[in-house]
Amino acid sequence: MNKQSKSIGILCAVLSAVCYGTNPFGALPLYEEGVNTATVLAHRFGLAVILLAVIMIIKRIDFKVTRREFKVLFSLGVLFAASSITYYQSFHFMDAGIASTILFVYPVMVAVIMALFFKEKVTSMTVMAIVLSLVGIGLLYKGGAGVSLSVIGIVLCILSSLAYAIYIIVVNQSDIKMSSFKVTFYAMLVCEISLILYSFTSPELYLHMLPSPRAWSFAVWLSIVPTILSLVFMTVAVNHVGATPTAILGALEPLTAVTIGVIIFGETLTPRLIVGILFILFAVMLVVIGKDFHLRTITHAVSRLWHWR
C-alpha cells in the first residue's frame, strides 16, 4: 500500500465519520414534527436510492450485478437497515449525542471480530484501547444528577454498533470489485425494501408523507450527508486502508454528534460524560498510534475524490 492510497483512505475515513455523525441533525427535527422512525428512514433511504441512481447514470456506471455480487450487496443492505433502525429508535430513549457516543464502540467490535475470525493480530495497544473504551461506556451509563440512562437505549445502540461493525467487515472481506456508488446504491435499495417490510410490524410504524417543506429539507440532508457521502467515503476508506483503521478513525463521529447535540439541540454535556467521551477517544488514539500511518498532504487525494470507480 503506497502513501497516496493511505492518504486517500484516511481522508475518506475521517469524512465518513463526520458525515455519519450528523444523523441527529436530520433525525431529531423530523421527530419533533411527529414523524415516526420508519417514515424517517424510508424517506432517507428512498431519496438516497434516487440520488445515487442519478449519479450512476451521470457517471455511466453499469447497474448490472451478478448473483454472487447481489448476495453480498443484499447482506450489506440488511445490516445497514438493522443498524439504522436500532440507532434511530435509541433517540427516543436518550440524548442523540450520548447515543452516538455509545455507537462508537463499533471500532472495538471490528477489531475483535477481525482478530477472532480473520486472524488479524491483536496488539497490546488494541487490548488497552478495548479496556479504555469499556470504561468510557461505563462512565456514560449515568447522566447528570445521577439519573440513569435508559437500558433499552443502550441495548439499541450496542445492536446498532454491532450491525455497523459487521457491515464494515463485509465490505472489507468481500472480493467484489465495483464502484463505491454502485455498492451504496444496492445497499440502500435493500435498506428501503427492509424499511417498508419493517413498517408492517407495528401500527405505530406506518409510513406516511412528510408534513412540511422543512421536514423534506431534513430528509434530503439525511439522504445525502450521513447516507450517501458517509457510506461512499467509508467504502473507499475500507478498500484503501482496511476495516480496523477505518473504524478507528471514526473517532470524529461521536465528537460531531455531541457537538451538534450541545450547540443545536441544547443537550447537557456533564463533566462525567466529557470524561467518558475522552476515555473512548483516547482508546482510539492508542490504536491509531499503533498503526504505521504516514500522513502526507491531502490536496492530491481531494482532487481524486470524484474519480473513484
Q: Which of 57, 55, 77, 20 is nearest to 192 (CA)?
A: 77
Round the average pLDDT of the chain to a whole number and report it.
Answer: 81
Distance CA 51, CA 223 (A): 8
Mean local confidence (pLDDT), 226-247: 87
Cα end-to-end distance, the chain, whole Å = 18
Q: Which of 39, 14, 12 is nearest to 195 (CA)?
A: 39
Q: Which domain holds residue 159?
A: 3-307
**pLDDT tens per residue across span 186-198:** 999 999 999 888 8
Q: Is the pLDDT of residue 295 over 50?
A: no
Q: Are 86 and 160 in contact (CB under 8 A)?
A: yes
Burial pattern 193-229, b for ≥16 Cβ within 10 A else e, equals bbbeebbeeeeebebeebeeeebeebbbbbbbbbbbb
Q: Is the pLDDT of residue 286 over 80?
A: no
* Confidence (pTM): 0.78
Q: How confident is the model at residue 202 (pLDDT cuts 50, 70, 90)?
A: confident
Domain count, the chain: 1
Q: Which of 80, 81, 86, 20 is nearest to 237 (CA)?
A: 20
Mean local confidence (pLDDT), 280-285: 72
Where is pLDDT greater, at 293 or 232?
Answer: 232
Listed range (9-13, 200-204, 216-220) with the worst mean pLDDT: 200-204
DSSP string, 216-233: HHHHHHHHIIIIIIHHHH
Mean local confidence (pLDDT), 29-55: 92
Q: Is the pLDDT of residue 176 over 50?
A: yes
Q: Is the pLDDT of residue 254 over 70?
A: no
Tally of CB atoms within 10 A around 135: 16
Q: Apex CA 21: angle with CA 45 and CA 106, to 5°? A: 90
The reported pLDDT for the residue numbered 250 is: 74
**pLDDT tens per residue across span 129-138:** 777 777 776 6
Listed range (102-116, 167-181, 215-229) with the worst mean pLDDT: 102-116
The reported pLDDT for the residue numbered 230 is: 92
Tally of CB atoms within 10 A around 153: 20
Most confident among 239-243, 260-264, 265-269 (mean pLDDT): 239-243
**pLDDT tens per residue across span 31-41:** 889 998 889 98
Q: How confident is the model at residue 221 (pLDDT cuts 50, 70, 90)?
A: very high
The reported pLDDT for the residue numbered 289 is: 61
Burial pattern 244-277, b for ≥16 Cβ within 10 A else e, equals bbbbbbbbbbbbbbbebbeeeeebebeeebeebb
Q: How confident is the model at residue 78 (pLDDT cuts 50, 70, 90)?
A: very high
Q: Are 284 and 107 in contact (CB under 8 A)?
A: yes
Q: How confident is the model at residue 140 (pLDDT cuts 50, 70, 90)?
A: low
Query: What is the residue type of 147?
Result: V
Q: What's the grid cell of residue 301?
A: 487525494
Distance CA 123, CA 126 (A): 5
Mean local confidence (pLDDT), 151-160: 91
Q: Which of 230, 258, 263, 269 is nearest to 246 (CA)?
A: 230
Q: Is the pLDDT of residue 219 over 80?
A: yes
